[in-house]
Amino acid sequence: MSEDCALTATMHAAAPAALQAVERAFAKAHVFLTEAHQLGGLALVVHWDMEDDHRQLLVDALLEESIDLDESAFETLQGPWEGVLTGSLHVTLEHEGRDSKVPVPAVPG
């Protein structure tokens, strides 16, 4: 049975660097990225599919890439493993670039 999981995070980086960091983190955690969208220079949304329980690997890899998961993301990833897990990760980007003026609200999975 598949479950949908919406995670949120913050990162101090511009969109191109953030996308590369997210791709590296998901590759390290053996989690498949199915889509990636840049929302201007303010945010990045990726959709993912996890077939085996790599939740802790994902958390560790995101932290290693300086992607700060929100507290609610940690809570969302806890609990018993129920099979395939799909979801999204919304990363708000904090940087000094030209597109850094307003925060973007979370986009549902």
Lowest mean pLDDT among 41-50, 66-75, 80-89: 80-89
Could you tell me if residue 102 is inside a domain? Answer: no
The pLDDT score that the predictor gives to residue 104 is 46
Do 88 and 106 touch, CB atoms closer than 8 A?
A: no
What is the number of domains present in the chain? 1
Could you tell me if residue 81 is inside a domain? Answer: yes
Could you tell me if residue 105 is inside a domain? Answer: no
Other C-beta atoms within 10 Å of 75: how many?
A: 9
Could you tell me if residue 41 is inside a domain? Answer: yes
Which range of residues forms the domain containing residue 31? 3-93
Could you tell me if residue 54 is inside a domain? Answer: yes
Could you tell me if residue 45 is inside a domain? Answer: yes
Residues 6+ apart with CB under 8 A from 20: none
82-108 tens-digit pLDDT: 888 899 999 999 876 554 444 444 555
- Angle at the Cα of 108 (from 104 to 109), degrees rounded to 5? 125
Of 60, 43, 52, give the one whose Cα is nearest residue 94.
43
Could you tell me if residue 40 is inside a domain? Answer: yes
Could you tell me if residue 98 is inside a domain? Answer: no
